[in-house]
Amino acid sequence: MRIEVLLDLKTRLGESPVWDVEQQRLYWADSLDGRIFSCTAAGREIKAWDVRQKIGSFALRNSGNGAVVALQHGIHTLDFDSGELQLIVNPEVDKPNNRLNDGKVDKQGRFIFGSMDMLEAEASGSLYRLDADFSLHKLADKIIVSNAPCWSPDGGTFYFADTWTGEIWAWDYDIATGDLANRRTFCRVDRSNGGAADGATVDSEGGLWNALVYDGKLVRYTPDGKVDRIIEMPVKKVTSVMFGGENLDVLYVTSMAQPPLPRFPEDNQLRGSLFALHGLGVKGVPEQRFAG
């Protein structure tokens, strides 16, 4: 296994890596600076878009050259050609201390995303589903920091973390309707060194890979929730993970250069880098595009 520093961009809060199999390009965001980046598998041909708000996550669209983006003040469409943003819906206009956060697309092309309290203290966040017709549905509430949404390879199990609970949860996921049922604890996260569950993805064997932010580790859990593998990263503030590359066998890892709140630790010179891990012996699952 080899850890490569793919790009040292010093993203303040690198997040939401998305590998697009159609273009063979990686996309990711700087949540605090409000930018989306894109590059080739080798870290070349960098592009960037300024979304002018804090961004929690995004999903590439089937229609047109653009994305749906979860910004601080609602879900928008982003046109990559013009840079134009258009508001779809702001589900939390009455919660000025919240912002939208992590999100992913299910097998039917629906965008599942959550919100968070920006002080990471109050359980004021929720989990939502945006359908292809832009209709919005609340799936869960009383969440502090929404993170780690992803699905089992067959799409029938949905994983999600409220970061500071110390748990990653699993639900039965109705692929036809996008509804959740039977929430249970998938695994308990080792928080003994100050770490917490951040972004996650699932490999083709059903293993869940989670970034243990502030502890500098990537943890792979087996489908039954047992710790299978731990990888020590060169920085403490790893934030999210995504398989990509031509064979979906490279694990891309984002990190943050600046902690979002003063109580969180600083890091070394590689903080904010985008990493690529080679030789893990497993492959990822192709990410879907938003159907709308």
Q: Name every residue whose Cβ is closer than 8 Å to that of residue 143 and which is 6 or more positions away in sequence.
A: 114, 115, 116, 123, 124, 125, 126, 127, 162
Query: Backbone phi, then psi, for 283, in 5-degree steps?
Result: -120, 160
147 annotated among ligand-binding-site residues: yes
Please confirm, yes or no, whether 198 is among the known catalytic residues. yes
The residue annotated as part of the active site, out of 33, 162, 198, 203, is 198
**Position 7, amino acid:** L
**Cα separation values, 262 from 202, 207, 265, 266, Å:** 32, 34, 8, 9
Is 99 within any annotated ligand binding site? Answer: yes
Q: Report which DSSP code applies to 128.
A: E
Alpha carbons within 13 angstroms on the beta-carbon side of residue 152 total: 18
Residue 172 to residue 177: CA distance in whole angstroms: 12
Q: Which residues of 44-59 are buried (b: 16+ CB within 10 A; e: fewer)?
A: eeeeebebebbbbbbb
The first and second tokens of residue 252, run together, are 């891309």
Whether residue 101 is annotated as binding a ligand: the answer is yes
Give binding residues for a divalent metal cation as ranges: 15, 147, 198
Give binding residues for substrate as ranges: 99, 101
Positions marked active-site: 198
